[in-house]
């Protein structure tokens, strides 16, 4: 067993874990954070995307021990005071999901993308989410949602909440 | 996944010693390729030695105008570095052509060079593979060989290709790899790091067990390297490995090729420096006919695979077209 100390969605956790435990297993099975889902378990589909120290990673391809000393942000840590993150809201407003299974990963990767590029073109959005697969092939509305969120997160935009770009402030 | 123990040393020398003491231990950097192999049972280490605290994550200027890239620098940081983008455009372009944002955030510079082939038979322990086990034959030769080698192969041997995009660009810019091993530190030219399969395809590189890549040095950029790019051809527009790729650097003076570097990916067990083509082009007019003749000379030695499930003879015209159009673009024409 290995001792790890992580901050997940703003709270500090200390646990003993098996070295082979994946970060996504730790989040779901130890912490009960089932908002982060397991899709392919082979680092292909991106459904399990979370932020590790502010950068998007595929949590099925990171060991829990690799997150020791780090901050993890999951889709469950995005809302503030009952308000959805602007990217979550944009996915809702644009109906950017069909079955919804890819949605947590799509949202986390989109937030990472907008942190690097606050005003992406359609092509840049498609490249930015190249590591996230939607098996319903519902990409059109996903791309629209990311661009919509980008507009609403611009400085001066009249959003329903202060725009917070990378990491949702955590 | 089989259980293993985990160590997190605080000095590089400790990490090297830990591996030297345990033949079944492996280094863990980003883990993006290793974790897949742990799940698939391609490797079953006794211990993972985490090198994240012992390898540098800095990109430093060298006195000669080059750059030293710490082995722990994430691929995304390397691709975003303004010095890399300006002086070594092929390197930045190669990284961005590979994987996806999440993997580039996690994957390290050293680990990228040591990732293993994506040959489907290598990744599937239920099929014979001479790269996993020397006592077995190669399944790809009679199977799905679309992504496999056409250069540097041996009769009946392994035809796996090296999957790294970054390594191809580093070969074109003559990078030097800094290694710390059980017997001390040494420098390996990147072109000599990866090996051809020969009689031991289980070994991808010349590194011995316990050798740790600590940094990659880029020499001061020449005019050709400043005028370099990376072109990757694949089955879909993104998020796929190369069928063929080319890192090309070109300096043209008065219509004549003054300097040229060509490294190819997707064609061999190692990033393939096209030295025959380079020699044929130096001092020659920068024209399509010369470009075409030079790459044809390089491909004289090619031995494409003809397998029942579709071979890879298509790579001959694909390499030619990719290299010629990339050279044309760098020479100022339409790529």
Closest residue in B to A42 (Cα–Cα): B36
- When pLDDT is cut at 50, 70 and 90, the band that residue A167 belongs to is very low
Question: Residue B180 CB: number of other CB atoms within 10 A?
Answer: 21
- Identify the residue among B101, B107, B108 best suited for mutation to test binding to A, counting A beta carbons within 10 A and taking the highest: B101
Instruction: Identify the CATH number of the domain in which residue A136 sits.
Output: 1.10.150.120
- Closest by CA to B324, choosing from B315, B310, B334, B309, is B334
- When pLDDT is cut at 50, 70 and 90, the band that residue B335 belongs to is low
Domain-wise residue ranges, chain B: 1-53, 224-330
Same domain, A94 and A69: no
Same domain, A55 and A98: no
* pLDDT of B167 strictly over 70: yes
Same domain, A6 and A69: yes
* pLDDT of A65 strictly over 60: yes
* Mean pLDDT of the region B282-307: 97
In a domain, A160, yes or no: no
Nearest CB neighbour to A43, from listed B36, B52, B238: B36
In a domain, A158, yes or no: no
Q: What local confidence, expressed as pLDDT, does residue B136 receive?
A: 95
Summarize pLDDT for B172-187 with one digit per residue, the tens: 999 999 999 999 999 9
Which DSSP category does A84 fall into? P
Inspect the interface and report whether the beta carbons of B2 and A22 lie closer than 8 Å.
no
Q: How many domains does chain A have?
A: 2
* Architecture field, domain B1-53: 2-Layer Sandwich (3.30)
**DSSP SS3 for A138:** coil
Partners of A128 on chain B (C-beta within 8 Å) are: 101
Q: What local confidence, expressed as pLDDT, does residue A155 receive?
A: 85
Q: What local confidence, expressed as pLDDT, does residue B46 receive?
A: 98
Same domain, A96 and A148: yes
Partners of A46 on chain B (C-beta within 8 Å) are: 100, 102
- The residue among B226 and B155 whose pLDDT is bigger is B226
Q: What local confidence, expressed as pLDDT, does residue B110 receive?
A: 98
Nearest CB neighbour to B5, from listed A19, A49, A131: A19
Name residue, tokens 């994506």.
B118
* pLDDT of A143 strictly over 60: yes
Q: Is B108 on the interface with A (CB under 8 A)?
A: no
Name residue, tokens 């840590």.
A77
* Mean pLDDT of the region B80-109: 97
* Mean pLDDT of the region A53-80: 97
What are the residues whose beta carbons fall under 8 Å from the beta carbon of B240, sequence distance 6 or more? B234
**pLDDT exceeding 90 applies to what percent of chain B?**
95
Same domain, A71 and A100: no
Which one of A25, A48, A77 terminates a domain? A77
Distance from C-alpha of B282 to C-alpha of A117, rounded to nearest angstrom: 41
CA distance B5 to chain A (A): 6
Q: What local confidence, expressed as pLDDT, does residue A162 receive?
A: 44
CA angle B13/A62/A65 to nearest 5° reads 55
Domain that holds residue A95: 86-153
* Mean pLDDT of the region B79-93: 98
Nearest CB neighbour to B3, from listed A18, A65, A128: A18
* Mean pLDDT of the region B268-288: 98
Q: What local confidence, expressed as pLDDT, does residue B87 receive?
A: 98
- When pLDDT is cut at 50, 70 and 90, the band that residue A70 belongs to is very high
- Closest by CA to A73, choosing from A12, A17, A7, is A7
- When pLDDT is cut at 50, 70 and 90, the band that residue A170 belongs to is very low
In a domain, A161, yes or no: no
Which one of A77, A100, A124 terminates a domain? A77
* Mean pLDDT of the region B247-256: 97
In a domain, A144, yes or no: yes
Inspect the interface and report whether the beta carbons of A131 and B52 lie closer than 8 Å.
no
Name residue, tokens 């059980």.
B182
Question: Residue B6 CB: number of other CB atoms within 10 A?
Answer: 19
**Which element (helix H / strand E) includes B178?**
strand B176-181
Distance from C-alpha of B238 to C-alpha of B285, rounded to nearest angstrom: 34
Q: What local confidence, expressed as pLDDT, does residue B334 receive?
A: 67
* Residue A41, beta-bridge partner list: none
ipTM confidence score:
0.93
Structure tokens at B150: 């056409």
Same domain, A6 and A73: yes
User: How would you classify residue B41: left for phi > 0, otherwise alpha for psi between -120 and 50, otherwise beta?
Assistant: left
Name residue, tokens 């939607």.
A134
Q: What is the mean pLDDT of chain A?
A: 93
Cβ contacts from A onto B, under 8 A: 81
Same domain, A63 and A117: no
What is the CATH class of B224-330? alpha beta
Distance from C-alpha of B213 to C-alpha of B188, rounded to nearest angstrom: 10
* Residue A14, beta-bridge partner list: A5
Nearest CB neighbour to A109, from listed B4, B101, B239: B101
Same domain, A51 and A96: no
Instruction: Identify the CATH number of the domain in which residue A26 sits.
Output: 3.10.20.30
* pLDDT of B97 strictly over 80: yes
- Closest by CA to A56, choosing from B104, B97, B115, is B104
Inspect the interface and report whether the beta carbons of A55 and B76 lie closer than 8 Å.
yes
Distance from C-alpha of A6 to C-alpha of B223, rounded to nearest angstrom: 47
Q: What local confidence, expressed as pLDDT, does residue A163 receive?
A: 45
Closest residue in A to B44 (Cα–Cα): A20
Binding-site residues on chain A for chain B (CB distance < 8 A): 2, 18-20, 22, 41-43, 46, 49, 52, 55-58, 61-63, 65-66, 68, 109, 112-113, 126-132
Summarize pLDDT for B122-149 with one digit per residue, the tens: 999 999 999 999 999 999 999 999 999 9
What are the residues whose beta carbons fall under 8 Å from the beta carbon of B174, sequence distance 6 or more? B189, B190, B191, B219, B261
- The residue among B237 and A134 whose pLDDT is bigger is A134
In a domain, A164, yes or no: no
Q: What is the signed CA dihedral for A75, A79, A85, A89, rounded to 10 degrees? A: 90
Pair type for strands B184-189 and B244-253:
unpaired
What are the residues whose beta carbons fall under 8 Å from the beta carbon of A116, sequence distance 6 or more? A128
CA atoms within 13 A on the CB side of B191: 12
Which one of A54, A77, A100 terminates a domain? A77
């Amino acid at each position: 067993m290995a001792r790890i100390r992580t901050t997940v969605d703003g709270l500090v956790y200390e646990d003993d874990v098996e070295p082979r435990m994946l970060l996504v297993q730790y989040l779901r099975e130890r912490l009960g954070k089932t908002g982060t889902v397991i899709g392919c378990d082979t680092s292909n589909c991106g459904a399990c995307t979370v932020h590790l120290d502010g950068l998007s990673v595929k949590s099925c391809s990171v060991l829990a021990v690799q997150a020791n000393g780090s901050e993890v942000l999951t889709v469950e840590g995005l809302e503030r005071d009952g308000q959805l993150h602007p990217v979550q809201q944009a996915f809702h407003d644009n109906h950017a999901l069909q079955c919804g299974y890819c949605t947590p990963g799509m949202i986390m990767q989109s937030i990472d993308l907008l942190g690097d590029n606050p005003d992406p073109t359609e092509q840049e959005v498609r490249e930015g989410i190249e590591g996230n697969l939607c098996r319903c092939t519902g990409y059109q509305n996903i791309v629209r949602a990311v661009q919509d969120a980008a507009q609403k997160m611009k400085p001066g935009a009249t959003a329903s909440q202060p725009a917070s770009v990378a990491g949702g402030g955590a | 996944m089989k259980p293993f123990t985990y160590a997190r040393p605080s000095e590089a020398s400790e990490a090297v010693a830990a591996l030297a003491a345990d033949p079944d231990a492996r280094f863990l950097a980003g883990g993006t390729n290793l974790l897949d192999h742990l799940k698939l049972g391609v490797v079953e280490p006794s211990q993972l030695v985490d090198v994240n605290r012992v390898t540098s994550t800095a990109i430093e200027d060298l006195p000669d105008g080059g750059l030293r890239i710490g082995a722990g620098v994430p691929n995304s940081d390397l691709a975003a570095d303004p010095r890399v983008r300006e002086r070594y455009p092929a390197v930045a372009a190669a990284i961005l052509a590979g994987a996806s944002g999440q993997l580039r955030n996690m994957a390290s510079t050293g680990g990228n060079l040591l990732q293993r082939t994506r040959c489907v038979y290598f990744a599937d322990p239920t099929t014979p593979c001479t790269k996993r086990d020397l006592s077995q034959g190669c399944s790809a030769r009679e199977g799905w060989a679309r992504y496999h080698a056409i250069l540097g192969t041996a009769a009946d041997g392994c035809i796996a290709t090296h999957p790294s995009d970054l390594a191809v660009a580093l070969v074109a810019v003559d990078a030097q790899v800094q290694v710390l091993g059980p017997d001390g530190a040494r420098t390996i030219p990147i072109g000599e790091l990866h090996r051809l399969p020969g009689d031991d395809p289980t070994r991808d590189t010349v590194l011995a067990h316990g050798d740790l890549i600590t940094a990659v040095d880029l020499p001061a950029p020449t005019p050709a390297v400043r005028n370099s790019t990376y072109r990757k051809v694949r089955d879909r527009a993104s998020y796929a490995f190369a069928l063929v790729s080319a890192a090309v650097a070109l300096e043209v003076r008065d219509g004549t090729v003054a300097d040229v570097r060509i490294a190819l990916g997707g064609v061999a067990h190692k990033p393939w420096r096209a030295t025959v083509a380079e020699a044929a082009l130096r001092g020659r007019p920068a024209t399509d006919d010369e470009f075409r003749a030079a790459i044809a000379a390089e491909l004289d030695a090619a031995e494409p695979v003809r397998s029942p499930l579709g071979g890879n003879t298509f790579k001959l015209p694909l390499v030619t077209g990719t290299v010629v159009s990339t050279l044309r673009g760098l020479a100022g024409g339409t790529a």
